[in-house]
Amino acid sequence: FWQNRIIIPTTLRKCALNKLHEAHPGIVAMKSLARLAIWWPNIDKEIERYVRGCEECQRHLTDFPETPLYLWNTPDYPWERLHIDFLGPYEGQMWLVIIDAYSRWLEVFP
């Protein structure tokens, strides 16, 4: 084990990559799936190489064009703009996370 993940021996890595890639999730999602349970040295690079070598993934790459970044205006005063999200489950419960964009003040509520 490495950080609670199973270390996959070299002989089984191709099989693990095939299984992770069954639904053609793309590089980011495939890495996320792998990080849940398995590890080996340079796994991220191997996942990138594997997905880039998949003809079907490359064919459908243009189906999902990259979304342009949205640049937020800088707030002029505290609490003008809040970033709010839920975190969890963590320690058995959901947490409300609020960040003030002006001051970067963080509030967390169980």
Domains and CATH numbers, the chain: 6-63 (1.10.340.70), 72-110 (no CATH)
- Asked whether the predicted pLDDT for residue 56 surpasses 80, the reply is yes
Quote the pLDDT of residue 64.
Answer: 63
- Asked whether the predicted pLDDT for residue 42 surpasses 90, the reply is yes
- By three-state DSSP, how is residue 94 classified? strand
Say which amino acid occupies 49.
Answer: R
Query: Predicted confidence band at 108 (pLDDT cuts at 50, 70, 90)?
Result: very high
- Asked whether the predicted pLDDT for residue 65 surpasses 70, the reply is no
Peptide bond connecting 9 to the previous residue in cis, omega within 30 degrees of 0: no
Averaged confidence pLDDT in the chain: 90
Quote the pLDDT of residue 3.
Answer: 76
